[in-house]
Copies of this chain bind each other. A is one copy, B any other.
Amino acid sequence: MAKKRPNTEQEQPEVKLSKQDQKTLDNLCRLADTVIEAAERVRDPFLDIPSRSLSNVKFNRTKKFIEMGKNTNRRHLFNLSQAKAYMQTLLIGSGCTQLIKQGKTTSIRGLYYLLKHTIEGTKEETFNEQSESDPIIEDLEVLSSSLREELHLYADKKGEMVGPLTLIDNGDEIDCSRMGSGGYGIPSIVEPDRVQFKKCTAKFILHVEKNTVWQRFNEDKFWKKQNCILTHGGGQPPRGVRRMLHRLHNELELPVYCLLDNDPWGYYIYSVIKQGSINLAFESARMAIPEARYLGIRSIDFERCELSRNVTIRLNDNDRKRAVQIKKYPWFEGKKKWQQEIDKMLENDFKLEVEALVNRGISFVTETYVPDRLEDQDFLD
């Protein structure tokens, strides 16, 4: 059944590029130019790839987020152990160039499939597994000073949003205050050339960990009563959600409050939202929100909220280990309140999920717990 439809790529007209796209393309071209320059000068082509190892990541106490150091690793073409990675880097670069020129985006899995082929005249595949192409994508992000989203790549999409905000998403005007119980699914790519904020009367953002908690807040119209934007990230928020929070925070000057579980995982989610992640340190400047506040759940809430022992969950060995690690993060280390918070959890020897507050009533969390914290400005920094 070989149909006569055109094979998509070849006959696709090139699209009008946004300013951002033009900039990203320029960055990618500069990278390609290094090969030509090296050839013209009869030198070995190489790339200096900023090192993404732990030793090259540090907490910038002025900017208050994790950033990369200046160490680089040189990747040569004419070196048996580096040639494949070198060629893979240029291949990913050319794949992204193709995406941008066609005005298309794809998933990182899609790019892997797109570029995977057997090199002519050999039995060698460009990539054997997606686990080979993913780190090269990160290399390219650093090399070309481009976010993955600017390279037209998207990740899994999760997270939703409601609140008094009207935005333009690819030309469609979306009123996030009229989303019913469903909510607006936060896109993977929320860069300014795709998503523009049109009108916002919200005073702050409440970011909750899980969609089940988000549903409680949405059903109780918390965002209407408190005049805020309500988001969730389905656990550890994906890049699209982090970037959306970052833009809302910086462009609309909205404070960000996080309602997360009282466990090491909740602390870690907060840490990533606030300081950035070690793995993606090169993106902190456009992702991290150093002014984010931790609203709860707190280790003191068992007593403060008079909860029943029935709703506590005992820490396991891994929890205890993680808590001790997190306690030593440089951005928690100097903070007395955070040290007390984590110590108290270890002393409790139990964790508390946000849902545990249901012990005090179905809407206790939306009608009492969060409003009280906001009124008292009672957060961890």
Query: Could you tell me which A residues sit within 8 Å of B by CB distance?
Result: 1-3, 5, 7-9, 12, 99, 102, 104-107, 109-110, 113-114, 116-118, 125, 154, 156-158, 160, 168-174, 178-189, 194-195, 211-212, 215-216, 219, 234, 304, 306, 308-311, 353, 355-356, 358-364, 367-368, 371-372, 376, 378
Known contacts A116-B310, A304-B1; is A181 also within 8 Å of B173 by CB?
Answer: no
User: How many copies of this chain does one complex carry?
Assistant: 2
Complex Cα distance A1/B306, Å?
Answer: 11
Identify A187's interface contact among B2, B118, B181, B372, CB under 8 A.
B181
- Asked whether B183 lies within 8 Å of A172 as measured between CB atoms, the reply is no
Known contacts A5-B368, A187-B182; is A212 also within 8 Å of B107 by CB?
Answer: yes
Sampled A-B contacts (15; CB under 8 Å): A9-B361, A99-B362, A102-B362, A104-B363, A105-B215, A107-B215, A113-B311, A113-B356, A116-B308, A158-B158, A170-B181, A172-B179, A173-B178, A174-B178, A174-B179
Complex Cα distance A372/B4, Å?
Answer: 10
Residues of B within 8 A of A114 (CB): 358-359, 362
Complex Cα distance A13/B275, Å?
Answer: 44
Complex Cα distance A105/B364, Å?
Answer: 13
Residue of B at shortest CB range from A8?
B361
Identify A181's interface contact among B12, B169, B304, CB under 8 A.
B169
- Asked whether B8 lies within 8 Å of A368 as measured between CB atoms, the reply is yes
CB distance from A2 to the nearest CB of B (A): 8
CB distance from A99 to the nearest CB of B (A): 7
Complex Cα distance A90/B170, Å?
Answer: 51
- Asked whether B8 lies within 8 Å of A362 as measured between CB atoms, the reply is yes
Residue of B at shortest CB range from A359?
B113
Complex Cα distance A360/B113, Å?
Answer: 10
Identify A372's interface contact among B3, B8, B9, B173, CB under 8 A.
B3
Residues of B within 8 A of A360 (CB): 7-8
Known contacts A9-B362, A114-B358; is A195 also within 8 Å of B216 by CB?
Answer: no
Complex Cα distance A168/B156, Å?
Answer: 28
Residues of B within 8 A of A157 (CB): 160, 211-212, 215
Identify A106's interface contact among B117, B185, B358, CB under 8 A.
B358
